Structure 1
Amino acid sequence: MRPVLFLDVDGPLNPFAAKPKPPGFVEHKFRIRGWSRRHPLRMWLNPGHGTALLDAAGNAELVWATTWGHQANTMVGPAIGLPTLPAVDCANVDSGWKFDAVARYAGPRPLVWLDDDFDLYPAARDAFLARRDGMVTHLVRVDPRTGITDVHLAAVREHLK
């Protein structure tokens, strides 16, 4: 079975909590429907992350797991050099946060997931991990002050061996 590498935007790719902007990241301003017309959404993205993620993913299917949904393909992906990717529908998640949607998408396949919010929903996280007992499942926590680093990419490669 082909493994899946799930990818969140805010935190892992956009280190929104960083002070100052981390080295290698470039400021982008996006105009998004529903966002202020006068004040576009400011994000920091590392243009090298696209290639690095594709390399780390190897044969795994790279999938957005973000409330950005398919908008990640039109804004974030091109800014970091990622092709169009499938997206898990995380826009209207219930008390299971993203866990239920990710579980449905992955099915029994091995998965690795880069996100910064796993610990905000401990009951949902623990239930997700319990349902995946016996299936390869690795949650790689990314600090929203640093974004994805070489350490995270090495963890992805190790877990996807």
Structure 2
Amino acid sequence: MRPIVFLDVDGPLNPFAAKGELPGYVEHSFRLRGWSRRHRLRMRLNPAHGPALLAAAAGADLVWATTWGHQANTMVGPAIGLPALPVVECAQVGSGWKFAAVSRYAGPRPLVWLDDDFDLYPAARDAFLDRRRDAVTALVRVDPSTGITDAHLAAVREALVPHGGG
């Protein structure tokens, strides 16, 4: 079974909690659907992350798992050099957060997931991991003050090695 690498935007790609300059990051200003013309979202993205993620996820399907939904393909992806990716429909409803949607999308396939919020809902996370005890599952926590680093990319490659990726 082809593995999946799930990718969140805020935290991993947009280190919103970072203080000061971040080498390699470029500031972007996006107007989101439903926002007024004057209200824009500023975020920092590293254009090197797109090619690095594609390389780290070689042999796997790279999939958005973000509340940005399809807007990740029209705004974030192009800014970092990612092609249009499949999107997990993640409605943030209740304490289950994204776990149920990712579980449905992945089924029994091996998965690696880059996100900063795994610990917000520990009961839902633990139930997700318990349901996947027979499926390879690597949750790669990304600090929202640093964003994705070489260590995170190495963790993705390492998790994919036994499954034909990386």
What is the TM-score of this pair, normalised by structure 1?
A: 0.97
- CA distance change for structure 1 residues 30 and 101 in 2, over 3 Å: closer, same or farther? same
1:111-140 CA-to-partner distances (Å, cap 9, x unmatched) read 000000000000000000000012100000
With 31-40 and 82-91 compared, the bigger mean Cα shift is at 31-40
Q: Which runs of 5+ in 2 are unaligned?
A: 162-166
Q: Which amino acid aligns with 1:119?
A: D
Residue 120 of structure 1 is matched in structure 2 by: 120
Residue 146 of structure 2 is matched in structure 1 by: 146
Map of 1:1-161 to 2, 5 A cutoff? Answer: 1-161=1-161
**How many angstroms apart in 2 are the aligned matches of 1:71 and 1:53?**
18
Q: Which amino acid aligns with 1:5?
A: V
**How many angstroms apart in 2 are the aligned matches of 1:16 and 1:91?**
21
Q: Which amino acid aligns with 2:28?
A: H
**How many angstroms apart in 1 are the aligned matches of 2:93 and 2:148?**
24
What is the TM-score of this pair, normalised by structure 2?
A: 0.94
Q: What is the percent sequence identity of the aligned residues?
A: 80
**How many angstroms apart in 2 are the aligned matches of 1:22 and 1:50?**
17
1:26-64 CA-to-partner distances (Å, cap 9, x unmatched) read 000001123343231001000010000000001100000
Give RMSD over aligned pairs.
1.0
**How many angstroms apart in 2 are the aligned matches of 1:141 and 1:104?**
21
Q: Which runs of 5+ in 1 are unaligned?
A: none
With 16-25 and 42-51 compared, the bigger mean Cα shift is at 16-25
